[in-house]
Homo-oligomer: A and B are copies of this chain.
Amino acid sequence: MNEIVTTPWHLTAPSFEEIGEAASRIRGVLVKTPLLESERLNARLGGRLLVKAEGLQRTGSFKARGAWNRLSLLSAEERARGVVAFSSGNHAQAVAWTGRRLGIGTVVIAMPADAPAAKIERTRGWGAEVVLYDRATEDRETLGHRLAEERNLILVPPYDDRRVIAGAGTLGLEVAQQAAAMGATPEALLVCCAGGGLTAGCALALETVLPGARVFAVEPEGFDDTTRSLAAGKRLGNAPGTTSICDAVLAPMPGALTFSINAPRLGGGLVVSDAEALAAMRVALEEFGLVVEPGGAVALAAALSERLPIAGHTVAVALTGANVDPGIYQRALFLST
């Protein structure tokens, strides 16, 4: 007798309608971050580069979109139980902030002990209980599941959840709408990629509203799991022990759900060095007056390094996070060259 194995609902792809519903949910709560451009950059690249300033989002990163959508959909009973998440810092702050805004009493966040101090402090500042773990010896997913089990909490995954992906997809929806209002039709959208949730959400949004555009996943060197997985047609992990300044985008391997969405849809993966991320942070400061954290700058870095031909094309990139310690920002921008 065969057992029928069904994938749980939350581990299947959201519909386009769910992304639209997420957009309605965040309206008036989250920031419709502007889509900017610089004619100086356009002239330098010979094309048109549209830059989504998502570091201006609540809690300083795109993660607020997925967190708000997921937590808004909790039942009253689930809210009463509380939530747990694991994150290097941006999903942490997003879940903690949303939890407080929605009046969820218990919010527990597992964070790596080497996460930026400002991210840990701000997560605590929103009233969350932070549990620190060792990135080298402990598995964050196991820890998250154990905390959920032991304390009867709802686990809010950083990417492998259809409601989180639908929330992230609202960024792609906004880019398409804002580009149209500027008379621009992006042929590509470049976004940072760790677990692949933002990539997946944007790919699902654009295949309906901007079917001529392809989404690319941008990763830092040493953490190019999605790029290699897309090429191999199966999920591959990163070598252990690698480091990068791009703390926000260091996932061990692509998510199962996100990879199943991304594999047939993405234009591919692009890989940038830490030095290129730093150069992009400087350009964001000089051309847009925007502070960007290293992980939030990788998509712009890929465009500036012309990993993809920009000349003669219209390309959108997302600056996805601004959560950088001022001291690290100073070192990164001014002392590294």
- A: residues with CB less than 8 A from B are 28, 31-34, 36, 39-40, 53, 55-56, 60, 97, 122, 125, 181-183, 282, 285-286, 288-292, 322-323, 326, 329-330, 333-334
Contacts and interface: CB of A to CB of B under 8 A. Distances in A.
B53 A282 contact: no
A140 B330 CA distance: 37
Contacts of A182: 28
A95 to B, nearest CB: 15
A40 B125 contact: yes
Nearest to A60: B289
Contact of A32 (B34, B60, B323): B34
Contact of A55 (B39, B122, B289, B323): B289
A56 B31 CA distance: 15
A293 to B, nearest CB: 8
B183 A28 contact: yes
A285 B291 contact: yes
Contacts of A333: 326, 330
Nearest to A101: B39
A28 B53 CA distance: 17
Given A31-B34, A36-B31, A289 B292 contact: yes
Nearest to A323: B289
Contacts of A125: 40
A246 B65 CA distance: 37
Given A28-B181, A56-B53, A181-B28, A286 B326 contact: yes
Nearest to A327: B334
A300 to B, nearest CB: 14
Contacts of A56: 34, 36, 53, 288-290
Contact of A290 (B33, B39, B181, B290): B290
B334 A285 contact: no
Nearest to A282: B326
Contact of A289 (B291, B330, B334): B291
Contact of A33 (B34, B55, B322): B34
A322 B290 CA distance: 9
A32 B177 CA distance: 14
Nearest to A54: B289
Given A34-B34, A56-B36, A290-B290, A285 B329 contact: yes
Nearest to A35: B31
Contacts of A326: 282, 285-286, 333-334
Contacts of A183: 28
